[in-house]
Amino acid sequence: KTVEVENPLVEVTSKILITPTSETELVLAVTEKTEKSFTVSAPKVVESDISFDWWMVNEEKAENHGEKH
């Protein structure tokens, strides 16, 4: 029902998109994010593996150096 994906670049505020790459009628969701990992869950236990691709975006806060834009 869940799988943990570890990556040293994951942050609690990361945006993570999941795309199934095998046939499934189930919706996959990122249900937890921690520093360095995230959890992908399905709504019920599955009989066979569901493969998926994922893409992560981290936001960087802009620093204000007194410059006018």
Walking along the chain (69 residues) 10 residues at a time, the average pLDDT comes out as 96 97 96 98 94 95 66
Indicate the residue type of 29: A
Q: Are 9 and 57 in contact (CB under 8 A)?
A: no
Secondary structure letter of residue 53 according to DSSP: E
The answer to whether the Cα torsion of 10, 16, 22, 26 is positive or negative is positive
Residue 66 confidence (pLDDT): 62
Residue 63 confidence (pLDDT): 73
pTM value is 0.83
